[in-house]
């Protein structure tokens, strides 16, 4: 790491102009949350492996900013050459640079890896001391990264209509209406999941996210797909041409954005098919007189924005973000089915784990409370670790119909590791299972018909009264949010408190948001809506047919962590009254796996919560039974028995 920093500082010094600081973000050219191995530049320079963060290297300092999910992990992973900056507690990176770097400083950034929003925010902050943001012509990290992973050539895959639910024709028609309504000539689409959703394609360019490294440009009568052409088979090329989509080289997007700005980007003349004509209004319309270009400031990189006339750009969120979030009936049905199969895999895992914990460690098990009898005497060849058990969970999922891989790296965490919110175990360093400690697993899968994300927290020994009280507070928040009814127009910022109130009563809390959207065989984290204390959760109200997670938690550093997570669908609610004629909404749980009875302090539950729990467990048993064998059904029957007080 020291050599890397020295090499980067040497490049910074020889750069024209010399750089006083270099910013290394986590994002790729599409501002993605999860990136491919060759795009993990921030991880390479800092050693910090979390999905979110930003590295800043100055002439004599190295600092890393990350959010509350990763404070503990970053503390453990950063060398003493790095200083951790805690987002929400320490100054933001733009404020720190403006305040601490000398007047007139030059701060380098690869403009492909910074969004328009980020670059403009920094430029405003730098103005007061005449500091300047310098766009480097190459990525300096790439120049010192000797063993950078190579480019992978993974095929573009057509996502069938039976899973997508809406045709490319319909999606392009709706998008073009939005473009015209926005007085724009065309739109640049940078977010990988938006390109995949619009064109009904998928890929394997990014681990856990079935997307393709690609850009798109859509105008009133033309559509372009910018991708490494080696990934496009003749069949896929024909499919795209059928919808009037011209395939261009990935790197051509930069010059084509400049052509778009000067109204010289020509539609493909080779595509005259019926489907293409439907998608672009019959191919009769000329390009509109509008001269504005739409670019999403959160996902479009500064490099492409720099090719546009800033006076002629609409800086607004892409209309595809909301369109993708509003699931169609086919997607909703697919998500429900995927979550049922996924729930069966989770139950099979818990049955297996329960048996192993008892046989290998003498644990009292899922249902009984007691200390392990012989946990020190088991055979080392039979021991369970955070990685071996998570591999077993993946195996159960892999046996299910339409399975295409995991949706994110499984968080499989024992005892103190469960307090690391986004803990990712490694085979060489992970902890062994401890029957006398809490075990938390947060995991999900990609299925052709839906993406899943579930968290459960269990104990195979004797939980303490404190652990039970904390688990119950998290469960009460989980139930409180899931049972909410609220008027149309309500955003996730307003609802976030419902999950926290039971924790606040005891002076407890958690440092992450409470809910995120989830894709339909796409990204596991999907906007534009979210349920969170963060201000941007105010931006988008929840709407019927959105998906969102419900995942409060509590984490005690050095001891344990607790989180419970289900995926919910937002539905219209049938209320007795309808104040203000707004219409009301409610949530429908589509995740199915039991909560552990022995971790619940029943004295803390009110009758409504107990009734909800019993109803959920009854549904859980009935819905999952067809996917289980007799012994698994018996275990689930016991895990979902009605609770009475």
Checking if the pLDDT of 278 tops 80, the result is no
Q: Please report the DSSP string for 353-365 in residue order.
A: HHHHHHHHH---T
Checking if the pLDDT of 193 tops 70, the result is yes
Mean pLDDT to the nearest integer, 127-148: 96
Checking if the pLDDT of 270 tops 60, the result is no
Checking if the pLDDT of 588 tops 50, the result is yes
pLDDT band at 341, cuts 50/70/90?
very high
Mean pLDDT to the nearest integer, 13-22: 97
Signed CA dihedral, 348, 349, 354, 357: sign only? positive
Residue 517 has a pLDDT of 98
pLDDT digits (tens, 9 = 90+) for 81-100: 999 999 999 999 999 999 99
Which residue, among 93, 108, 113, 109, has the nearest Cα to 39 in the 3D structure?
113
Which residue, among 366, 335, 361, has the nearest Cα to 595 in the 3D structure?
366
Q: Are 458 and 468 in contact (CB under 8 A)?
A: no
Residue 284 has a pLDDT of 41
Round to whole Å and give the CA distance between 113 and 27.
6
Which residue, among 415, 421, 409, has the nearest Cα to 74 in the 3D structure?
421
Phi, psi of 173 (to 5 degrees): -60, -45
pTM of the model: 0.94
Round to whole Å and give the CA distance between 197 and 519.
10
- What's the gap between Cα 277 and its chain centre? 35
Round to whole Å and give the CA distance between 480 and 474.
10
pLDDT digits (tens, 9 = 90+) for 553-583: 999 999 999 999 999 999 999 999 999 999 9
By CB neighbour count within 10 A (0-12 exposed, 13-18 middle, 19+ buried), where does 348 fall? Answer: buried
* Mean pLDDT, rounded, of the chain: 94
Residue 579 has a pLDDT of 95
Residue 283 has a pLDDT of 41
Domain 157-267+289-325 adopts which CATH fold?
Creatine Amidinohydrolase; Chain A, domain 1 (3.40.350)
Mean pLDDT to the nearest integer, 230-245: 97
Checking if the pLDDT of 251 tops 90, the result is yes
- What's the gap between Cα 115 and its chain centre? 18
Domain 1-144 adopts which CATH fold?
Creatine Amidinohydrolase; Chain A, domain 1 (3.40.350)
Round to whole Å and give the CA distance between 468 and 584.
34
Of the chain, the end-to-end C-alpha distance in Å amounts to 58
Residue carrying structure tokens 């619940």: 600
Four-way CATH pick for 329-374+382-640: 1.10.3720.10, 3.90.230.10, 3.30.56.10, 3.90.650.10? 3.90.230.10
Checking if the pLDDT of 286 tops 50, the result is no
Residue 226 has a pLDDT of 98
- Segments making up each domain of the chain, as ranges: 1-144, 157-267+289-325, 329-374+382-640
Checking if the pLDDT of 249 tops 80, the result is yes
Residue 382 has a pLDDT of 82
Task: Using alpha carbons, list the distances in angstroms from residue 182 to 115, 299, 542.
Answer: 21, 18, 23
Mean pLDDT to the nearest integer, 407-427: 94
157-267+289-325 shares the fold of 1-144 = yes
Q: Are 18 and 106 in contact (CB under 8 A)?
A: yes
Round to whole Å and give the CA distance between 106 and 138.
16
Round to whole Å and give the CA distance between 36 and 32.
10
Contacts of 258 (CB under 8 A, 6+ apart): 307, 308
Question: 21-25 and 106-109: which strand pairing?
Answer: parallel
Mean pLDDT to the nearest integer, 497-523: 97
pLDDT digits (tens, 9 = 90+) for 443-477: 999 999 999 999 999 999 999 999 999 999 999 99
Residue 231 has a pLDDT of 98
pLDDT digits (tens, 9 = 90+) for 365-388: 999 998 777 655 555 568 999 999
131-135, 377-381, 558-562, 600-604: least confidently modelled range = 377-381
């Amino acid at each position: 790491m020291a050599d890397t920093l020295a090499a980067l500082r040497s490049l910074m010094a020889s750069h024209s102009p010399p750089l006083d600081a270099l910013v290394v973000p986590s994002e790729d050219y599409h501002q993605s949350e999860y990136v491919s191995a060759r795009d993990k530049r921030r991880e390479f320079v800092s050693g910090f492996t979390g999905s979110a963060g930003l590295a800043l290297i100055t002439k004599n300092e190295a600092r890393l900013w990350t959010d509350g999910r990763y404070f503990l992990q970053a503390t453990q992973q950063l060398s003493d050459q790095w200083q951790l900056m805690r987002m929400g507690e320490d100054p933001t990176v733009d404020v720190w640079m403006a305040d601490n770097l000398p007047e007139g400083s030059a701060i380098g950034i690869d403009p492909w890896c910074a969004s328009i929003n980020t670059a403009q925010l920094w430029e405003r902050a730098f103005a007061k001391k005449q500091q300047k943001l310098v766009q480097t012509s190459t990525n300096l990290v790439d120049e010192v990264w000797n063993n950078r992973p190579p480019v992978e050539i993974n095929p573009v895959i057509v996502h069938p209509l039976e899973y997508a639910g809406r045709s490319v024709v319909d999606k392009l028609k709706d998008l073009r209406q939005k473009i015209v309504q926005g007085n724009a000539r065309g739109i640049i689409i940078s977010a990988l999941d938006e390109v995949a959703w619009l064109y009904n394609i998928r890929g394997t360019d990014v681990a856990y996210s079935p997307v393709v490294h690609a850009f798109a440009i859509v105008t009133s009568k033309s559509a372009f797909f910018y991708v490494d052409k080696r990934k496009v088979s003749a069949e896929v090329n024909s499919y795209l041409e059928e919808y009037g989509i011209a395939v261009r080289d990935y790197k051509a997007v930069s010059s084509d954005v400049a052509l778009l700005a000067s109204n010289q980007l020509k539609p493909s003349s080779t595509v005259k098919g019926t489907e293409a004509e439907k998608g672009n209004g019959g191919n009769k319309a000329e390009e509109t007189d509008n001269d504005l270009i739409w670019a999403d400031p959160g996902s479009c990189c500064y490099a492409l924005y720099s090719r546009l006339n800033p006076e002629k750009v609409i800086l607004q969120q892409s209309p595809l973000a909301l369109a993708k979030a509003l699931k169609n009936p086919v997607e909703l049905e697919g998500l429900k089915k995927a979550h049922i199969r996924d729930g069966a895999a989770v139950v099979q895992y818990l049955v297996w784990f329960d048996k192993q914990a008892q046989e290998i460690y003498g644990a009292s098990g899922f249902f009984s409370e007691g200390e392990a009898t012989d946990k020190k005497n088991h055979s080392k060849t039979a021991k369970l670790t955070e990685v071996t058990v998570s591999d077993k969970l993946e195996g159960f999922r892999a046996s299910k119909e339409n399975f295409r891989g995991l949706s994110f790296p499984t968080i499989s965490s024992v005892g103190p590791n469960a307090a690391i919110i986004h803990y990712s175990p490694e085979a060489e360093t992970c902890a062994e299972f401890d029957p006398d400690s809490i075990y938390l697993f947060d995991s999900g899968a990609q299925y052709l018909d839906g993406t899943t994300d579930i968290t459960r927290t269990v104990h195979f020994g004797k939980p303490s009264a404190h652990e039970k009280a904390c688990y119950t507070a998290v469960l009460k928040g989980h139930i409180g949010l899931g049972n909410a009814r609220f008027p149309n127009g309500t955003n996730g910022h307003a609802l976030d408190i419902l999950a926290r109130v039971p924790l606040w009563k005891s002076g407890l809390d958690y440092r992450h948001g409470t809910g995120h959207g989830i894709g339909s065989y796409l990204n596991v984290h999907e906007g534009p809506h979210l349920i969170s204390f963060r201000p941007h959760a105010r931006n988008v109200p929840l709407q019927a047919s959105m998906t969102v997670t419900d995942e409060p938690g509590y984490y005690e550093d050095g001891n344990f962590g607790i989180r419970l997570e289900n995926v919910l669908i937002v539905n219209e609610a049938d209320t007795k009254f309808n104040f203000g004629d707004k219409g009301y909404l409610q949530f429908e749980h589509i995740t199915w796996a039991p909560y552990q009875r022995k971790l619940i302090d029943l004295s803390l539950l009110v009758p409504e919560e107990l009734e909800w729990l019993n109803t959920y467990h009854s549904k859980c048993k009935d819905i999952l039974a067809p996917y289980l064998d007799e012994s698994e059904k018996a275990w689930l029957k016991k895990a979902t028995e009605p609770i009475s007080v």
